[in-house]
Structure 1
């Protein structure tokens, strides 16, 4: 599109609630996007291009930019576009929805000059095809979130999926069972904790995962029902995505994540003590030996010793075997 409109660069932008979701321009360094975010270039009172936006598929250009700038010329944005040599051009709104905005633009440099009527006509013709491509990409990203949620659900994982903006895009049934005022809640599309200090820690581990500062972060929550472990895992970043695909998985593990009767059922099935049944139940939920020791208030050596006894009683040699047959028993009991 850039060459067809005589433009130094073509730009596709998606702006969501309070922040830029996606800003891609041909032949433009990442510093451009960082600079745009730093000056809050998504705001109409900052960016004359945003202020000049019209209805979907209506082209606006320098004539409209001039009118906005005559009333309110924002120095920060003017410095930005002049620094990146993209002051002129034309644009089109592709979609303007409650939580997201999509636009296509031809960015002209000083050498390109102001757009011509023919160049703007090309932009007008390209718009519908660009919107079709956006809708397909969004569908693929949402489908990816659904597929991942279904996989986690099938494995009975208590998991919450967050997109690149930190908003919740999926919650498994097992996680829904653990949500509450003592743990965490989904409020206005975000994951929050009731206590301010806990919420600050929660937002910190989510932020670390989103920024990939720490690929895995954990937070212990203390409740009257016992401790619950939250872990945030960073998913691989996609080079071309609008931000709706899952970016972070937050898992929840609790001693009561499974029914309180399961330790007794496991004990009855394998001839285990109550304590041994609880250890197997925790293993099934995905807890490590160290985590089980923390939950039960004993040493890792004590857990290892108990597991050796459990292996003998269950006639297995490895934890994976133990978890597999324990899951089968739980499923039989649930059926």
Structure 2
């Protein structure tokens, strides 16, 4: 009764209180954060273990079962699922919703550190991954065309579309898959390398140095100052073919017209001609005329195209994307 009496007698106060509550509600609603993919901690995680060259049965017996036994002692685990394939074991862990995933991750890593001591030496280190919904693409686009090939579509996606999408506020990264990429392919000729005395490390160092431009400092001339750069980056197939990978050195012996040391009877000086049949004993040759031979050393650069086949080829694709059954270029946006 007191509340009713107060409301009747203080009508203005009640109206003002209601209006204040409504105003606070409107302001709070307008400032309420809305997120398409809010930060959530899903109670799921995965453990990946590689065992190269092992059959699925060996992976299950040697890797999967010991790890499952160790992880079974982790508190809060609701279910454990595992898949053993050639060279890899995947264990999926499902926790209760009330479990703190950060603390559970610490517990799982401790158990993995204990069990990996008993695994064979060929087994890789276990990798623990928590499920993060923010890793999923916010949006995925597909580029397809009847006029442009997959190489042109890939260039369009990288040079135009991806750069514009990265400027959108809230977009963390843009990844591209599918299409066709080109690369420079160098097939070395081992016989040519041996012929010119060039090692594989020389070719590797030359290719590595041909992919960068280096600063060369400053040059001051009076009141002017110039920046110097060393341009070494390959800009095309012809530049790569003319890349210097070594130096060829040739030694040439030049014999003058009156060459050689000759003596009597046209024999080299100092030869005892008495030992030669039909020549009287006691006779010997002596120096009469001649000139020393000259050695000429020439060098020239050896280009990459002389020791290898260099071409612009299609890069091997690790992934493929299709849109309505047609090959396309896929663009994924990460938040």
The answer to whether the superposition gives a TM-score over 0.5 is: no
TM value normalised by structure 2: 0.17
Alignment TM-score, normalising by the size of structure 1: 0.17
Say which structure, 1 or 2, has more relative contact order (CA 8 Å, 6+ apart). 2
